[in-house]
Amino acid sequence: MSIFDHVESAVRSYCRNWPTVFNRGQGSWIYDEGGRGYLDFFAGAGALNYGHNNSALKQGLLDYVTSDGIAHALDMSTIAKRDLLDTFVHLILKPRRLDYRIQFPSPTGASSVESALRLARKATGRTAVLGFANSFHGVTLGALLVSDSRLSRMDSTTPVSGRTPLPYNTHFGDNPDLSVVERRFDVSAVGQERPAAVIVETVQGEGGVNVASVQWLQALSRLCSDFGVVLIVDDVQAGCGRTGSFFSFENAGIVPDIVCLSKSISGYGLPLALTLIRPDLDVWEPGEHSGTFRGNNHAFITATKAIETYWSDNILEKQTVSKGESVRRELASLAAAYPHLSLGVRGAGLINGLSFLDGKQARSVCFAAFERGLLVETAGRQGEVVKLMPPLTTTDDELDTGLELLKASIEESVHESEGL
Ligand code: PLP
């Protein structure tokens, strides 16, 4: 038994799927201690949009550390924080005509979600917060309350009575159908308190790469504004360029009241989260939502470098859109090659999924992929979707190699399951 098996908690998970000991990473590749390279189409669950040890970001961090730059300062003002705020306002918010106050919650996606839910409650004076079917927002108590994914349903520690998932991205013909949401918002119809907030992912990552349509998002946004319900977009996984644009909601033309960012905001895999708040909703008292690790200065440095390097122009955004289209074309031809598997293709930008009939098939493909040197994970209600999330900086050749490995892994697991 390895030390991981007998010392690390039973809660460990990814190490069970990928039973090797990793040592170093560079770009889209991660290497184990035996020197074997794996193409990483998992990318830290979306925390490594610019790849492992991106050289521009690394140099900035090395310079800062060797000059004894501040590492920890709670939320005191530092040069590193000033530079990030300045860069974020000028390269991200202003060009998109967005006006948000920026909160630094504790550095995980769930912490940003917690801050958003608490603030929406405080600003509205109401308590109910709603999420959607198949959503995932983290595993703190508040985030679990609005989550409905496979992971959150495994949770036996939180009473589920408060959870009322709304139907996600439903349509009636071509028209978005938000009648259930509207009934829940309309106090006169239900005879209960109007919710404070609704939280939504524009692309449900853990939920199986479900992409909300532009029309549905626009209708949801209109409904929230009509009823004075705070619209929170959880862009923890789909943001930071994953779908192409910096924010995943940009092509819908909506302006959420609160936006949660984490994962790739530091760009380097360093923990950092931002909660973006419509200015009039920023009703916090000083220190009211505090935490020791709100100011990860090393992450401020790499976040600033990432934004300067990749978001001063729209080159990365265009590349992500076109690479994503070619990934979906390849996946569609894979699906056509195996009609009896009923494979489904879905995605946006470089978050894409191939759905199988059940979780067992998808898991066996992921394991065969690992053995061939490709990291991909499962998502979806039964884990039936193989999710492909390569770093956005992955080259065309690497994408081709990864898709070839995936194809070989599907063939292998199909042959095995058919006993050939
Ligand atoms: N929100 C979304 C959409 C996520 O995908 C995740 C994690 O996968 C979270 C929140 C939680 O983030 P963290 O694991 O950093 O708490």
Please indicate whether residue 264, judged by its CB atom, sits closer than 6 Å to ligand 1: no
What is the distance between the alpha carbons of residues 410 and 389, in angstroms, rounded to a whole number?
17
Instruction: Provide the pLDDT confidence category of residue 153 given band limits of 50, 70 and 90.
Output: low
Instruction: Indicate which atom in ligand 1 lies nearest the CA of residue 139.
Output: 16
Residues 234 and 296 in one domain: yes
> Which has the closest alpha carbon to 87: 287, 243, 266?
266
Residues 173 and 206 in one domain: yes
CA of 137 to the centre of ligand 1 (A): 5
Write the DSSP assignment of 272-290 as a string of letters.
--EEEE-GGG--PPTTSS-
Q: What 3-state class would DSSP assign to 212?
A: coil
What is the distance between the alpha carbons of residues 151 and 148, in angstroms, rounded to a whole number?
8
Instruction: Indicate which atom in ligand 1 lies nearest the CA of residue 271.
Output: 15
Q: How many domains does the chain have?
A: 2
The count of C-alpha atoms lying within 13 angstroms of the C-alpha of 179, restricted to the half-sphere facing its C-beta, is 4
Dmax over CA atoms of the chain, in Å, equals 66
Residue 164 has pLDDT above 90, yes or no: no
Residue 379 has pLDDT above 70, yes or no: yes
Please indicate whether residue 207, judged by its CB atom, sits closer than 6 Å to ligand 1: no
Residues 247 and 279 in one domain: yes
| Per-residue pLDDT tens over the stretch 254-298 | 999 999 999 999 999 999 999 999 999 999 999 999 999 998 999
Phi, psi of 232 (to 5 degrees): -105, 125
Q: Which amino acid is at 23?
A: N
- By percentage, how much of the chain surpasses pLDDT 90? 90
Residues 288 and 145 in one domain: yes
Residues 319 and 302 in one domain: no
Of 27-31, 184-188, 389-393, where does mean pLDDT reach its minimum?
184-188
Please indicate whether residue 384, judged by its CB atom, sits closer than 6 Å to ligand 1: no
Other C-beta atoms lying within 10 Å of the C-beta of residue 288: 10
Which residues pair with residue 220 across a beta bridge? none
Residues 270 and 329 in one domain: no
Of 54-63, 157-166, 367-376, where does mean pLDDT reach its minimum?
157-166
Look at the chain and count its residues. 420
Residues 268 and 126 in one domain: yes
End-to-end CA distance of the chain: 33
| Per-residue pLDDT tens over the stretch 52-82 | 999 999 999 999 999 999 999 999 999 999 9
Residue 217 has pLDDT above 60, yes or no: yes
Please indicate whether residue 137, judged by its CB atom, sits closer than 6 Å to ligand 1: yes
pLDDT, average across residues 325-338 = 96
Residue 317 has pLDDT above 70, yes or no: yes
- Last residue of one domain, picked from the residues 295, 310, 325: 310
Please indicate whether residue 205, judged by its CB atom, sits closer than 6 Å to ligand 1: yes
Residue 395 has pLDDT above 90, yes or no: yes
Instruction: Ligand 1 pocket test: pick from 11, 136, 150, 243 the residue with the most ligand atoms within 8 Å of its Cβ.
Output: 136
Exposed (0-12), middle (13-18) or buried (19+): which is 62, by Cβ within 10 Å? exposed
Q: Which amino acid is at 390?
A: P
Instruction: Ligand 1 pocket test: pick from 114, 134, 137, 243 the residue with the most ligand atoms within 8 Å of its Cβ.
Output: 137
Residues 77 and 225 in one domain: yes
Phi, psi of 171 (to 5 degrees): -130, 150
Residues 198 and 86 in one domain: yes
Write the DSSP assignment of 355-402 as a string of letters.
E-SSHHHHHHHHHHHHHHTEE-EEESTTS-EEEE---TT--HHHHHHH
Instruction: Indicate which atom in ligand 1 lies nearest the CA of residue 205.
Output: 5
Please indicate whether residue 240, judged by its CB atom, sits closer than 6 Å to ligand 1: no
Write the DSSP assignment of 307-327 as a string of letters.
HHHHSSSSHHHHHHHHHHHHH
CA of 36 to the centre of ligand 1 (A): 29
CA of 326 to the centre of ligand 1 (A): 27
Please indicate whether residue 237, judged by its CB atom, sits closer than 6 Å to ligand 1: yes
Please report the pLDDT score of residue 161 as a whole number. 56
| Segment holding 231, helix H or strand E | strand 230-234
Exposed (0-12), middle (13-18) or buried (19+): which is 48, by Cβ within 10 Å? buried
Residues 261 and 120 in one domain: yes
Q: For residue 71, what is the domain's CATH number?
A: 3.40.640.10
Q: For residue 393, what is the domain's CATH number?
A: 3.90.1150.10
Residues 47 and 63 in one domain: no
Residues 180 and 252 in one domain: yes
Of 25-39, 71-85, 190-204, 251-265, where does mean pLDDT reach its minimum?
190-204
Please report the pLDDT score of residue 1 as a whole number. 65
- Last residue of one domain, picked from the residues 266, 282, 310: 310
Exposed (0-12), middle (13-18) or buried (19+): which is 10, by Cβ within 10 Å? exposed
pLDDT, average across residues 382-399 = 98
How far is residue 162 from each of residues 3, 133, 168, measured CA to CA in Å?
39, 14, 18
pLDDT, average across residues 226-241 = 98
- Last residue of one domain, picked from the residues 285, 310, 335: 310
Instruction: Provide the pLDDT confidence category of residue 159 given band limits of 50, 70 and 90.
Output: low
CA of 258 to the centre of ligand 1 (A): 16
> Which has the closest alpha carbon to 196: 144, 129, 147?
129
Q: What range defines the domain where residue 323 resides?
A: 2-53+314-417
Whether 235 and 261 have beta carbons less than 8 Å apart is answered as: yes
Q: CA 328, 333, 336: angle at the middle one, nearest 5? A: 125
Residue 420 has pLDDT above 60, yes or no: no
CA of 338 to the centre of ligand 1 (A): 33
